[in-house]
Amino acid sequence: MQVNVIGLGYIGLPTAAVLAEHGIDVRGVDINAAVIATLNRSGIPINEPGLRDSVRTQMTEGRLRFSAVPDYADAYIIAVQTPVGPDRSPDLSYVHAAVDSIIPYLREGNLVVVESTIPPGTVNRHIVPQLKQTGLDIGRQLFVAYSPERVYPGNVWSELVGNDRIIGGVNEESAREAAKLYGRFVKGSIHLTDSATAEMVKLMENTSRDVNIAFANEMARISESAGINVWEAIRLANTHPRVRILQPGPGVGGHCIAVDPWFIVDSAHGDAPLTLLARTINDHTPARIVRMIESLVAGIDTPVLTLLGLAYKGNSDDTRGSPSVAILQALLSKGYAVNVFDPYTGNAYGNKSSVYEAAERSDCLILLTDHAVFRELDYTRIAAGMNTRQFLDTRNALDPADLEIHGFACYRIGTPGINRTRSREADDH
């Protein structure tokens, strides 16, 4: 069996590799020449545990090849990006370009599966008409399905195989054909439905997480003035058998949870008040953190700030849509001196290579990303170089007692301490 995977990003590349691991002859296709050149030199443009070894092995064994153009195959998987535009409406141009690129190669009996996140109804309303250019009878001579990716960045390798799969066909035969392909490697259950339902399922999954996090962020804000520790309250609430509240933080980043709810808002022509409010709460959270930081250093002349973490979530090197970046940019635009340290994200945003350098003469450390390594830093040495020993934890990542022994004044979002500081600073000014 031969499969072309169109789009070699965070989803396409692991999917191509896992298909090859299961004996399929795979051509990975990307219009970005730099991605193809990197892969053909045995480089990997994405950092995901387990991916590099698998790609290299499959290339060596001849089951995985990369090219800028598609070829004849039995099945085509489309896994290109679907960003939102400046007006928050979905940009489907990459999906349409990918479909256009395979049209010349499609033959009777082929299967086309879209994995990119798309608004409900897109396959039926836009992709099927586009595929009709082939002259093939859709659903009989050319099988078409939608199957959303659901893998968790950082754990892609095991979730790609272990997670349940939703497969929505334009008709039952298309869903069954797609299930045969995914059945080659998926160990979870495969659930068949129609394409519009499968498109909606993907959006609902990520939107439910966004709404839940917005609720946690709201509870954090309320707890601060109510004199309650939100982390403890959420932990206890979650001992209820039917409650699962997520964690507050500095905001919601990445390219999925912060983006997909906009597809629902767009599909509902704006009439999705809960979804929209959750997005608004989460999008305003970085600004709330900036106000907290400002209050912590309000009494200090020309304060120096140190941000710990640029990635959008812990143990990741991905800064796309990261609340840390929004917070950094807001602080810089207000004229603060800001140093940043993230051991994973490279040189961008003035990232320092050493935490000691980043914390030198600092007046406040602000932990924004819950990288596990931040728990193991030498806080004695960090504290020694600082001007004012203050620590703001936006992730409840560290035990305040462990920092207080080094002389830090500790603040956590969602706890009364941060609020007391704010009122005191307000009184002082």
Residues near ligand SAJ (CB under 6 A) are 149-153, 205-206, 209, 213, 246-247, 249, 252-254, 256-257, 312-313
Q: Is 352 a catalytic residue?
A: no
Which 3 state secondary structure label does DSSP give 351? strand
Report the residue number, 103 or 233, with the smaller CB distance to ligand SAJ: 233
Q: Which residues, including other chains, have CB under 8 Å from residue 357's CB and lie 6 or more apart?
A: 339, 341
Give the residue carrying structure tokens 């997005």. 279
Smallest gap from Cβ 104 to ligand SAJ, in A, equals 30
- Residue 314 β-bridge partners: none
CA atoms of 147 and 191, how far apart (whole Å): 10
Report the residue number, 72 or 152, with the smaller CB distance to ligand SAJ: 152
Smallest gap from Cβ 315 to ligand SAJ, in A, equals 11
Catalytic residue among 187, 256, 364, 410: 256
Report the residue number, 48 or 363, with the smaller CB distance to ligand SAJ: 48
Q: Given strand 25-29, what is the order of strands in its sheet?
A: 64-67, 25-29, 2-6, 75-78, 111-114, 143-146, 165-169, 190-194
Angle of CA points 189, 147, 16, to nearest 5°: 90
Residue of 63, 57, 62, 51 lying closest to 8 (CA atoms): 51
Residue 187's CB is within 10 A of a number of other CB atoms, namely 12
Report the residue number, 149 or 393, with the smaller CB distance to ligand SAJ: 149
Smallest gap from Cβ 134 to ligand SAJ, in A, equals 29
Report the residue number, 252 or 340, with the smaller CB distance to ligand SAJ: 252
Which 3 state secondary structure label does DSSP give 325? helix
Give the residue carrying structure tokens 């500095």. 250
Residue of 251, 155, 246, 146 lying closest to 201 (CA atoms): 146
Residue of 138, 156, 152 lying closest to 54 (CA atoms): 156
- DSSP assignment, residue 296? H
Report the residue number, 136 or 392, with the smaller CB distance to ligand SAJ: 392
Catalytic residue among 180, 202, 352, 410: 202
Smallest gap from Cβ 129 to ligand SAJ, in A, equals 26
Report the residue number, 14 or 253, with the smaller CB distance to ligand SAJ: 253
Smallest gap from Cβ 117 to ligand SAJ, in A, equals 6
CA atoms of 393 and 272, how far apart (whole Å): 33
Report the residue number, 27 or 313, with the smaller CB distance to ligand SAJ: 313
Q: Which residues, including other chains, have CB under 8 Å from residue 245's CB and lie 6 or more apart?
A: 212, 215, 216, 219, 234, 237, 238
Q: Given strand 409-412, what is the order of strands in its sheet?
A: 351-352, 337-341, 304-308, 364-367, 390-393, 409-412
CA atoms of 384 and 357, how far apart (whole Å): 12
Smallest gap from Cβ 274 to ligand SAJ, in A, equals 17
Q: How far is CA 52 from CA 39, 66, 81, in A?
A: 10, 14, 21
Q: Is 202 a catalytic residue?
A: yes
Contact 38, 45 (CB under 8 A): yes
CA atoms of 307 and 351, how far apart (whole Å): 10
Smallest gap from Cβ 221 to ligand SAJ, in A, equals 14
Smallest gap from Cβ 97 to ligand SAJ, in A, equals 20
Query: What amino acid positions are annotated as catalytic residues?
Result: 202, 256
